[in-house]
Amino acid sequence: MQILSFVKILFSPIVFGFAFIGPLSAEIITALEIALPIGTPLYWGLLIGGLLGLMAQVRGSWVWVKPS
C-alpha cells in the first residue's frame, strides 16, 4: 500500500507541475528572454508549474474544462 501511495503521488498533477512544467517554463522564459520584474526564471517557472499542477490536481484537468 505504501508503494501504491508513493506511485499515486509520483503520478499526481501537482508533482508533474513542479517537476516538469516548472523547469520547462523556466527554460522557455530564458529562451524567449522575457524580462522578469523580480526573481529568477526558475522561480517563475515553479510558480507557473505549481499553479497549473494545483489546478489540474483540484479540477482533474490541465485545460480547466473538466472531463465529463
Q: Residue type at 5?
A: S
* Residue the block writes with cell 499515486: 8
How far from chain centre, in Å, is Cα 28? 14
Count residues contacting another protein (CB under 8 A)? 26
Out of 47, 50, 54, 59, the only residue in the binding site for another protein (CB under 8 A) is 59
Assigned C-alpha cell, 48: 507557473
Out of 9, 10, 34, 36, the only residue in the binding site for another protein (CB under 8 A) is 10
Q: Residue type at 51?
A: L
Q: Are 54 and 15 in contact (CB under 8 A)?
A: no
Per rule CB under 8 A, is residue 27 in the interface with another protein?
yes
Per rule CB under 8 A, is residue 7 in the interface with another protein?
yes
List of residues contacting another protein (CB under 8 A): 7, 10-13, 16, 19-20, 22-24, 26-28, 31, 56-57, 59-63, 65-68
